[in-house]
Chain A
Amino acid sequence: GENVEQHPSTLSVQEGDSAVIKCTYSDSASNYFPWYKQELGKRPQLIIDIRSNVGEKKDQRIAVTLNKTAKHFSLHITETQPEDSAVYFCAASIGQAGTALIFGKGTTLSVSS
């Protein structure tokens, strides 16, 4: 079945720096890759997603890149702010989008001012 690896597990940056979180997946049929931000005890909040027919997507300070050949995708946050501090999860659809998502283990991002 699908397996999603996420690194690093923790990431500390200074305000204004960039943060990069990387994920790899195993199922070559996966075609939907969302990134979520989760606050303690709350539901995951979608911050950006990408489908397999696109290599890169950007939304203001947040971008996601996808390398289907290597089966990895990355989250890039530029000009980090303290409010970006949270737990971030990558996920991949099991095969086609519409099936369940498999999540990475999460990255705790700390942005210090």
Chain B
Amino acid sequence: GAVVSQHPSWVICKSGTSVKIECRSLDFQATTMFWYRQFPKQSLMLMATSNEGSKATYEQGVEKDKFLINHASLTLSTLTVTSAHPEDSSFYICSARPSGGVGYTFGSGTRLTVV
């Protein structure tokens, strides 16, 4: 089945630094990937839609200059949290829908802790 590999699974960084999260589609081409953020005991909130070869579409309230998304190839999308602060600590998870399929495939998620 379709697999999305997400790395790292967890990361601890200092305030003010940047962190890059990668999502790779292993056995299909993902022209579109979706990035979600999930705070403890809350739902998955859509942050942005990543499109291969073009700019990402951000949801209202998500700072595009803080959460940089790059989708340079059909199998890789990256989310960079720039100048991270403790309030950015969260579970970040990507998703893609293989073309021709019905369901969505999720990465394993990244637990970001900013200290």
Tally A residues with Cβ within 8 Å of B.
20
**Is B106 a contact partner of A43 (Cβ separation < 8 A)?**
yes
**Is B109 a contact partner of A101 (Cβ separation < 8 A)?**
no
B67 within 8 A of A: no
Tally B residues with Cβ within 8 Å of A.
21
**Is A41 a contact partner of B111 (Cβ separation < 8 A)?**
yes
Most buried by A among B45, B46, B93, B111: B46
Tell me how far the C-beta of B67 lies from the nearest C-beta in chain A, rounded to whole angstroms: 15
**Is B108 a contact partner of A43 (Cβ separation < 8 A)?**
yes
In the complex, which residue of chain B has the Cβ closest to the Cβ of A90? Answer: B43
Docked CA distance A99–B104 (Å): 10
Query: From DSSP, what is the main secondary structure of chain A's interface residues?
Result: strand
**Is A104 a contact partner of B102 (Cβ separation < 8 A)?**
no
Complex contacts, A44 vs chain B, CB 8 Å? 44, 93, 106
Please, what's the 1-or-0 string for B77-115, where 1 marks a CB less than 8 Å from any CB in chain A? 000000000000001010101000011101111010000
Tell me how far the C-beta of B66 lies from the nearest C-beta in chain A, rounded to whole angstroms: 20
Tell me how far the C-beta of A93 lies from the nearest C-beta in chain B, rounded to whole angstroms: 9
Tell me how far the C-beta of A107 lies from the nearest C-beta in chain B, rounded to whole angstroms: 10
Complex contacts, A32 vs chain B, CB 8 Å? 102
Q: In residues 76-113 of chain A, which contact B (Cβ within 8 Å)?
A: 89, 97-106
**Is A104 a contact partner of B43 (Cβ separation < 8 A)?**
yes
| A98 in complex: contacting residue of B93, B97, B107, CB < 8 Å | B97
Known: A100-B46, A101-B95. A34 touches B103 (CB 8 A): yes
Complex contacts, A34 vs chain B, CB 8 Å? 103-104
Docked CA distance A46–B109 (Å): 15
**Is A102 a contact partner of B111 (Cβ separation < 8 A)?**
no
